[in-house]
Amino acid sequence: MHKIVNLAYILTILIFIDLTATLFWVHGGLATEANPIMNFFLTTSSLGFVVAKLGFSFTGVYILFVFRKKLRLVVLNSLVVLNLIYLAVCGYHLWGMLFLLFKTN
């Protein structure tokens, strides 16, 4: 059970990193949002984007948390996959920041 809770916490942190980095890139004119649904909210307003991102993400995490006892293996595997996906996304953000850092010097 602790693995599930820890993975949910890690996922939450990765979601915040992605949210912050996306706003940085898009408002800096260096990228666009790849997700068409989130792009709609981002083109509407930054606040709308933040509310939608956190709303969708935390609703999903909450659903996994609710079913953590009944569907333990499914929830655990889902959290592992989601963490891997968000690690890749955050790695992509980091690669972009390093590229920008070394390209400008």
pLDDT of residue 104: 76
pLDDT of residue 103: 85
Q: Using an 8 Å Cβ cutoff, are 61 and 8 in contact?
A: yes
Under the banding of pLDDT at 50, 70 and 90, the label for residue 39 is: very high
The single-letter code of the amino acid at 19 is L
pTM of the predicted protein model: 0.90
Helix, strand, coil fractions of the chain, as percent rounded to 5: 85, 0, 15
Percent of the chain scoring above 90 in pLDDT: 91
- Is 92's pLDDT higher than 70? yes
